[in-house]
């Protein structure tokens, strides 16, 4: 458990997290590993976990009829995969595929949600960490939608 | 020599870099004029397709080889489209070089971040040639390049060659890709926090679509670069290229004469004005 605590503490997403909160988070955490090509989850499945990436890269994909899978983002060491666990109905809205060997920490979403409900300080701390990720990804999505490298009309 | 009078050059070679992007190598017909067209990284020439029109195109070749005038052109309008359709040996009108280029002297002794989006890599390539040719003068060199898709990545072979060097960090990302693509996907700004450079001693040279540059500059500022360390290349509708006609007037400056490369703090307030 001490090893897992160190890993979570050293992950950039949880940088500076106070010890009490760290223990609560680690109570919901476990080490996981995915081989290259293996899917972490698929669109529509319950968002049971989110992942702290320790090593490797992950592609987030959407499949469109006639176009196959389109990768819209890749994530790497030091980043997190999954924000769908925060918002009902807690279902993934895309697929996540390991591009190479991925080592990560999986955080049990139901476990952490329960702890956040019981301790709103923890919940607020989690929101302060997730919101910037959400905003950054929203801004990135806006830039992608703008298609800034496309031919101006 | 009248800067408004074009000289005749010929297309020596052309190469397709993407579906709508071609790189043209031009040669001045009058050999005595070759030195006259020596340029510094970041400058541009005015190219004429006779009977069609004239457009400003950045130089994308090596400034250390002034005899070879290389321009990378995207076919977006009548003139640029005509340029990309020219055959080897075709005549082109040439005026230039014009404008203020990248601050290569300012980069000496510092980490250098080259941040490019789309066709914006073309005006930065001469700066990269110079940085690599005089590699020992600089700290880390980091190239962060974003393209629309894997098929739109420019200068593939050179990027691959530079990536093989151990003293230049090349990071490429695309906005979207098929699942067969094994590289990075995400907007170019996502590369900035991951890049290894010292923001307190770095200089950033930024070129790409204006909206991309705004977001990129905001992220560079977030990681600690000062405004005085960020330079960007602006694109406006340049006609005379010598600050007479006013087509490229950008607030109090003329992009053709005072730019196209500006230090960010000198144009920051102008970038916020949508009407210009």
In chain A, the domains with their CATH numbers are 2-146 (2.60.120.10)
Task: Look at residue A72 and give its three-state secondary structure.
Answer: strand
Residue A13: is its pLDDT beyond 80?
Answer: yes
Which of B98, B121, B149 is the C-terminal boundary of a domain? Answer: B98
The answer to whether residue B149 sits within a structural domain is yes
Query: How far is the alpha carbon of B215 from chain A, nearest alpha carbon, in Å?
Result: 9
Which of B40, B72, B98 is the C-terminal boundary of a domain? Answer: B98
The band of A153, judged by pLDDT with boundaries at 50, 70 and 90, is: low
Residue B237: is its pLDDT beyond 70?
Answer: yes
Q: What is the per-residue DSSP string for B31-81?
A: GGGGGGG---TT-EEEEEETTTEEEEEEB-S-TT-TT-EEEEEE--SHHHH
By C-alpha distance, the chain A residue nearest B116 is A149
Q: Which residues pair with B118 in a beta bridge?
A: none
Chain A residues near residue B76 by CB distance under 8 angstroms = 151-152
Whether residue B221 is found in the same domain as residue B127 = yes
pLDDT-wise least confident of A40-54, B27-41, B50-64, B193-207: B27-41
> What's the rounded mean pLDDT across residues B229-255?
86
> What's the rounded mean pLDDT across residues B202-208?
97
- Interface check for B147 against chain A (CB to CB < 8 A): the answer is yes
Query: Taking a C-beta distance cutoff of 8 angstroms, is the pair B93, B54 a contact?
Result: yes
Whether residue B58 is found in the same domain as residue B111 = no
Residue A87: is its pLDDT beyond 90?
Answer: no
Give me the total of CB pairs closer than 8 Å, taking one residue from chain A and one from chain B.
72
Query: Cα separation of A29 and B182, whole Å?
Result: 29
Whether residue B47 is found in the same domain as residue B119 = no
Scored b (16 or more CB within 10 A) or e, B173-192 reads: bbbbbeeebeebbbbbbbbb
Which of B39, B71, B98 is the C-terminal boundary of a domain? Answer: B98
- Interface check for A69 against chain B (CB to CB < 8 A): the answer is yes
Q: Does the beta-carbon distance from A71 to B194 stay under 8 Å?
A: no
Closest CA to A50 of A14, A15, A21: A14
Query: Cα separation of A148 and B270, whole Å?
Result: 20
Mean pLDDT score across all residues of chain A:
93
> What's the rounded mean pLDDT across residues A96-106?
97
Q: What is the per-residue DSSP string for B201-240?
A: GEEEEEES-HHHHHHHHHHHHHTT--GGGEEEE-----SS
Task: Look at residue B26 and give its three-state secondary structure.
Answer: strand
Query: Cα separation of A31 and A43, whole Å?
Result: 22
pLDDT at position B99: 92
Q: What is the pTM of this model?
A: 0.92
By C-alpha distance, the chain B residue nearest A97 is B179
The tokens for B101 are 């280029």
Look up the domain containing B206 and give its range: 104-233
Whether residue B194 is found in the same domain as residue B138 = yes
**A71, A100, A144: best mutation site toward chain B, by most B Cβ within 10 Å?**
A71
Query: Cα separation of B80 and B22, whole Å?
Result: 10
Whether residue B59 is found in the same domain as residue B120 = no
Residue B247: is its pLDDT beyond 90?
Answer: no
In chain B, how many domains are there?
2
With residue B122 as reference, give the H or E element that holds it.
Answer: helix B121-133
The answer to whether residue B198 sits within a structural domain is yes
Q: Which of A70, A76, A144 sits opposite B187 (nearest CB)?
A: A144
Whether residue B41 is found in the same domain as residue B138 = no
Residue A152: is its pLDDT beyond 80?
Answer: no
User: Which residue's structure tokens are 């200089």?
Assistant: B203
Residue B2: is its pLDDT beyond 90?
Answer: no
The answer to whether residue B241 sits within a structural domain is no
Query: Taking a C-beta distance cutoff of 8 angstroms, is the pair B271, B125 a contact?
Result: no
The interface residues of chain B toward chain A in range 60-79, judged by CB-CB distance below 8 A, are 74, 76
> What's the rounded mean pLDDT across residues B1-20?
90
**A42, A74, A75: best mutation site toward chain B, by most B Cβ within 10 Å?**
A74
CATH code (residue B154): 3.40.50.80
By C-alpha distance, the chain A residue nearest B153 is A149
Q: Which of A74, A143, A147 sits opposite B184 (nearest CB)?
A: A74
Give how far Cα A37 sits from Cα of A59, A101, A104, B179, Å: 10, 8, 15, 10
Chain A residues near residue B117 by CB distance under 8 angstroms = 148-149
Query: Taking a C-beta distance cutoff of 8 angstroms, is the pair A65, A129 a contact?
Result: no
Query: How far is the alpha carbon of B189 from chain A, nearest alpha carbon, in Å?
Result: 8
By C-alpha distance, the chain B residue nearest A57 is B184
Whether residue B156 is found in the same domain as residue B92 = no
Whether residue B111 is found in the same domain as residue B229 = yes
pLDDT at position B246: 82
Q: Which of A72, A99, A149 sits opposite B118 (nearest CB)?
A: A149
Whether residue B25 is found in the same domain as residue B92 = yes
The answer to whether residue B79 sits within a structural domain is yes
Q: Which of A71, A147, A148 sits opposite B177 (nearest CB)?
A: A71
CA B120 to chain centre: 5
The band of B72, judged by pLDDT with boundaries at 50, 70 and 90, is: very high
- Interface check for B156 against chain A (CB to CB < 8 A): the answer is no
Dihedral pair phi/psi, residue B18, rounded to 5°: -160, 180
Q: Say whether the ipTM exceeds 0.90.
A: no
Chain B residues near residue A143 by CB distance under 8 angstroms = 175, 187, 189, 211-212, 215
> What's the rounded mean pLDDT across residues B8-19?
94
Query: Taking a C-beta distance cutoff of 8 angstroms, is the pair A60, A52 a contact?
Result: no
The interface residues of chain A toward chain B in range 18-57, judged by CB-CB distance below 8 A, are 57
DSSP state letter for A152:
P
The answer to whether residue B250 sits within a structural domain is no
pLDDT at position A113: 94
Contacts of B82 (CB under 8 A, 6+ apart): B49, B52, B53
pLDDT at position B29: 79
Query: Taking a C-beta distance cutoff of 8 angstroms, is the pair B59, B107 a contact?
Result: no
Whether residue B129 is found in the same domain as residue B152 = yes
- Interface check for A115 against chain B (CB to CB < 8 A): the answer is no
The answer to whether residue B275 sits within a structural domain is no
Query: Taking a C-beta distance cutoff of 8 angstroms, is the pair B260, B253 a contact?
Result: no
- Interface check for A61 against chain B (CB to CB < 8 A): the answer is yes
Task: Look at residue A73 and give its three-state secondary structure.
Answer: strand
Query: Cα separation of B81 and B151, whole Å?
Result: 19
Whole-number percent of chain B with pLDDT over 90: 77
pLDDT at position B164: 93
More confident: B102 or B245 = B102
Residue A40: is its pLDDT beyond 90?
Answer: yes
Whether residue B83 is found in the same domain as residue B109 = no
Whether residue B164 is found in the same domain as residue B189 = yes
The band of A1, judged by pLDDT with boundaries at 50, 70 and 90, is: low
Contacts of A134 (CB under 8 A, 6+ apart): A83
Strand boundaries in chain A, DSSP class E: 29-34, 39-41, 49-55, 57-64, 68-76, 80-81, 95-98, 102-108
Chain A residues near residue B190 by CB distance under 8 angstroms = 136, 140
The tokens for B79 are 């003139």
CATH code (residue B92): 2.40.30.10
Query: How far is the alpha carbon of A12 from chain B, nearest alpha carbon, in Å?
Result: 12
Query: Cα separation of B222 and B192, whole Å?
Result: 10
Pairing of strands A49-55, B253-254: unpaired
Whole-number percent of chain B with pLDDT over 70: 99
Closest CA to B128 of B67, B184, B70, B60: B60
The answer to whether residue B85 sits within a structural domain is yes
Query: Cα separation of A70 and B262, whole Å?
Result: 37
Cβ-in-10-Å burial (0-12, 13-18, 19+) of B159 comes to: middle
The answer to whether residue B202 sits within a structural domain is yes
Q: Does the beta-carbon distance from A68 to B209 stay under 8 Å?
A: no
The band of B85, judged by pLDDT with boundaries at 50, 70 and 90, is: very high
> What's the rounded mean pLDDT across residues A132-142?
91
Query: How far is the alpha carbon of B188 from chain A, nearest alpha carbon, in Å?
Result: 9
Task: Look at residue A16 and give its three-state secondary structure.
Answer: coil
């Amino acid at each position: 458990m001490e090893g897992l605590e160190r890993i979570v503490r050293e992950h950039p997403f949880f940088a500076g997290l106070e010890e009490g909160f760290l223990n609560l988070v680690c109570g919901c955490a476990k080490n996981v590993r995915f081989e290259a090509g293996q899917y972490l989850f698929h669109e529509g499945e319950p968002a049971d976990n989110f992942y702290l990436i320790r090593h490797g890269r992950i592609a987030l994909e959407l499949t469109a009829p006639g176009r196959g899978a389109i990768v819209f983002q890749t994530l790497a060491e030091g980043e997190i995969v999954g924000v769908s666990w925060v918002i009902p109905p807690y279902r993934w809205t895309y697929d996540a595929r390991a591009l190479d060997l991925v080592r990560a920490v999986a955080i049990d979403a139901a476990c952490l949600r329960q702890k956040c409900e019981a301790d709103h300080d923890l919940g607020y701390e989690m929101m302060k960490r997730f919101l910037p990720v959400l905003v950054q990804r929203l801004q990135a999505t806006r830039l992608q939608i703008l298609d800034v490298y496309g031919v101006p009309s | 020599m009248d800067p408004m009078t074009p000289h005749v050059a010929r297309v020596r070679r052309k190469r397709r870099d993407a579906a709508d992007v071609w790189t043209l190598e031009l040669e001045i017909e009058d050999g005595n004029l070759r030195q006259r067209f020596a340029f510094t990284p970041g400058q541009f020439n005015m190219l004429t397709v006779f009977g069609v029109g004239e457009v400003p195109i950045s130089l994308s070749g090596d400034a250390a080889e002034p005899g070879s005038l290389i321009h990378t052109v995207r076919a977006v309008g009548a003139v640029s489209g005509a340029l990309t359709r020219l055959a080897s040996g075709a005549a082109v009108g040439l005026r230039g070089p014009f404008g203020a280029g990248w601050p290569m002297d300012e980069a000496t002794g510092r980490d250098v971040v080259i941040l490019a989006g789309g066709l914006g890599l073309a005006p930065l390539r001469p700066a990269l040639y110079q940085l690599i040719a005089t590699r020992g003068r600089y700290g880390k060199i980091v190239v962060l390049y974003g393209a629309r898709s894997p098929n739109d990545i420019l200068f593939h072979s050179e990027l691959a060659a530079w990536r093989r060097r151990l003293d230049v960090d090349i990071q490429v990302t695309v906005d979207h890709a098929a699942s067969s693509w094994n590289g990075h996907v995400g907007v170019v700004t996502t590369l900035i926090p991951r890049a290894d450079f010292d923001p307190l001693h770095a200089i950033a040279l930024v070129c790409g679509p204006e909206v991309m540059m705004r977001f990129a500059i905001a992220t560079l500022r977030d990681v600690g670069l000062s405004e005085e360390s960020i330079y960007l290349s602006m694109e406006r509708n340049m006609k005379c290229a010598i600050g007479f006609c006013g087509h490229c007037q950008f607030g109090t400056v003329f992009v053709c004469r005072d730019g196209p490369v500006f230090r960010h703090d000198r144009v920051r307030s102008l970038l916020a004005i949508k009407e210009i």
